[in-house]
Amino acid sequence: MPDCDSMRQNMPLLLTESLDPATRELTHQHIETCALCVTEWSAYKETWSILDTLPKLDVPARVKQRFLAEVSPAAATPNVVPFRRRGTPRWLAQAAAVVIVAGGAFYGGHRTTRRIELPTTPAALTNVQPAAPFYSIAESRVLPAASISPQIEGRPDIQNVQFTDASPSNTQIGVSFDITSHVTVTGHPTDKSMVRLLRYVLENEDKQSPSRSRAIDWVRSTYSHVGNPDPEITEALANVLRTEGNQGVRIKAADTLQSLQSTMTDGTRDALVEALKNDPNPAVRIKAVEALARLARSGGNLDPDMVDTLRKKASQGDENVYVRVKAAEALSSIQPK
């Protein structure tokens, strides 16, 4: 399978976290859905763990130079006199060469090697634990039976069960179903996975229970104590402010943005300016103008549109007086640069 080949080429880079986010995601998705690649991936991770347990040896400069000249002749610098270390046993150099070549091949990752055979030692093998793949919260996934624990915990609600036997020629069967399971994700508020999960919760309201309003309350109480919350959180709130129909939720989104001022991006500021200009609810406009006033006082990133909007609001006769006063207060703290 050509797809598997390219994915397997990505595996060493995946191990060293050198893949770009899109390819990383693609590779993970493939591994989750391909039984053969799961095995391959497990082998890579096992090998990687074993490599950690091998003794580290100093590589003689001569060996290193020869190796580098072999893998990248252009990098060889003939005008540099190599440092030759004397008296090193020949077997040690050879052992180091084996390690370097194996490591280089591993990093290059241009082979679909199933498993790098290494001498087994009791210490190395007993310490290796099969690394669990990343748990991704997905709408649907295909899992090989081998990757699932035989033990079913609790009594999960399983519905819409379907049995498949795609190819009668082999012994593989499939069982697909909808499962309702309760997941608790723990971590630091700044963990990227946690931030992404909260962003998803904030931005997707369908069938969300309890309400998005409560999610915003929780985000506010959590992230107002975090020094510099991830900008993704404020961007998610800005999207809520732009798109939410429920005015109570918009009020909370604007209020929470005010309390998370430290990570206000240009997009967030623009959402507040837009809310101040056009939101029909005066309370949303109040929260927006208060947030912008705070931004102005803190010497934050101001742009002409924001200043212009504040000026118009302060002078707008039919605007709520409190909004006008707050806009005027914001303007008074602006020092043009």
Partner 1 sequence: MRTTVRTTVRTFLAAAVLLSTTQLFGASFAASSRVVREFPVDPAGSVWIDNPFGSIDVIGGDGNVISVTADRTLMAPDTVTLKEAADAVALSFEGDTKVRLIRTLLPPMKNVRWTVAVNYVVHVPRGVNVKIGGSKSAEHIRVANVNGSVTVNGFTGVVMMEGVVGASVVNMVNGRIIYDYTQKPVARAQVQAVNADIDMWLPANSNFDWVANTINGDMLSTFNVKARSFNGSVFHGVVGSGGTTINTESMMGHVAVLVTGSNLSDAQSFRVNEAGHPSGGDVLRQPAKKIQMPFVNGDFVFAASVADVTVGEVRGNARVETGAGEVELGAVFGQCNVTSLGGPLNLGDIMGSLFAHTGAGDIIVRAARMGGQVTTDGGLVRVIYAGGPMTLRSGGGDIIVRQFSSIMDAETSSGDVTLTADPAQKTIKVTARTLQGNIVLNVNPRFAAEIDATILTSDPDANEMHIDFNGISVRREQVGNKTRIRATGKINGGGERVELYAEDGDIHISAQNVAPLRLANPK
Nearer to partner 1, 238 or 330 (CB): 330
Q: Which DSSP letter does residue 174 get?
A: E
Quick one: which of 90, 155, 225, 337 contacts partner 1 (CB under 8 A)?
Answer: 337
Nearer to partner 1, 53 or 211 (CB): 211
The Cα 207–Cα 211 span in angstroms is: 9
| Backbone angles phi and psi of 60, in degrees to 5 | -60, 140
Asked if residue 284 binds partner 1 (CB under 8 A), the reply is: yes
- Nearest CA to 275 out of 296, 251, 297, 248 is that of 251
Nearer to partner 1, 154 or 336 (CB): 336
Q: By CB under 8 A, how many residues form the interface with partner 1?
A: 38
Helix (H, G, I), strand (E, B) or coil at 177: strand
Query: Which residues lie closer than 8 Å to 79 by C-beta, 6 or more apart?
Result: none
Structure tokens at 56: 């580290």
Structure tokens at 12: 């060493």
Nearer to partner 1, 152 or 321 (CB): 321
Asked if residue 112 binds partner 1 (CB under 8 A), the reply is: no
Taking the complex as a whole, how short is the minimal distance between the CB of residue 210 and partner 1, in angstroms? 8
Task: Tell me the sheet residues that pair with 175.
Answer: 163
Asked if residue 206 binds partner 1 (CB under 8 A), the reply is: yes
Quick one: which of 23, 194, 281, 294 contacts partner 1 (CB under 8 A)?
Answer: 281
Nearer to partner 1, 238 or 249 (CB): 249
Contact between residue 233 and residue 199 where contact means Cβ atoms under 8 Å apart: yes
Asked if residue 336 binds partner 1 (CB under 8 A), the reply is: yes
In the shown chain, the binding pattern of residues 240 to 279 toward partner 1, with x for contact by CB under 8 A and - for none, equals -----xxxxx-xx---------------------------
Nearer to partner 1, 19 or 314 (CB): 314
Instruction: Looking at residues 292 to 321 of the shown chain, list those that interact with partner 1 (rule: CB under 8 A).
Output: 307, 311, 314-315, 320-321
| Backbone angles phi and psi of 179, in degrees to 5 | -130, 135
Taking the complex as a whole, how short is the minimal distance between the CB of residue 222 and partner 1, in angstroms? 20
| Centroid of chain to Cα 35 | 24
Taking the complex as a whole, how short is the minimal distance between the CB of residue 310 and partner 1, in angstroms? 9
Pairing mode, strands 157-164 and 174-180? antiparallel
Contact between residue 319 and residue 313 where contact means Cβ atoms under 8 Å apart: yes
Contact between residue 37 and residue 8 where contact means Cβ atoms under 8 Å apart: yes
Binding site for partner 1 (CB under 8 A): 206-207, 209, 211, 213, 245-249, 251-252, 280-286, 307, 311, 314-315, 320-325, 327-329, 331-332, 334-337
